[in-house]
Structure 1
C-alpha cells in the first residue's frame, strides 16, 4: 500500500511512497522548512494500486462493443 504524508504546518505533501520513505521525506521537510517543530499532519493511504480500474475499463469497453453490435443487427 502506498502512503502520502501531509505536513501539519503548510500545504506540503509527499508523493505516493511506502511508509518508511514517506516518514523520511516528511522528517526532511520539517528539518528544512519548520526547524524545531515536532512533525505532525495526516497520513493518506491509497488502498488501490495504479491499475485497479483496468478491469472496469475492459468491462465497459466490452459492453459498448456488444451494444454496438446489437444496435446494428438486422434480421
Structure 2
C-alpha cells in the first residue's frame, strides 16, 4: 500500500476543513474564495452531503441513547 502524496493529503484536509467551516458557519472569506476558485464543486457537494448524513445519524444516535436512558419509549 502506498502513502498518499503530500499535495493530495493537503487537499483532503483542506476539503475537510472547508466543509466543517461551512457547516458551522466559521469559514473565513479567504478560504471561501479559494473554494470557489476550485476546478470542480462536486468534491464539496459530495463531502457536504456525506457530512450532513453523518451529522444527522450521530444526532439520532444521541437522542435514542438519551431517550432510552430516561425510560421513555
| Common topology (TM > 0.5) | no
Which structure: greater strand fraction? 1
- Give the TM-score range, shorter chain: 0.3 to 0.5
**Larger radius of gyration, structure 1 or 2?**
1
User: TM (normalized to structure 2)?
Assistant: 0.37
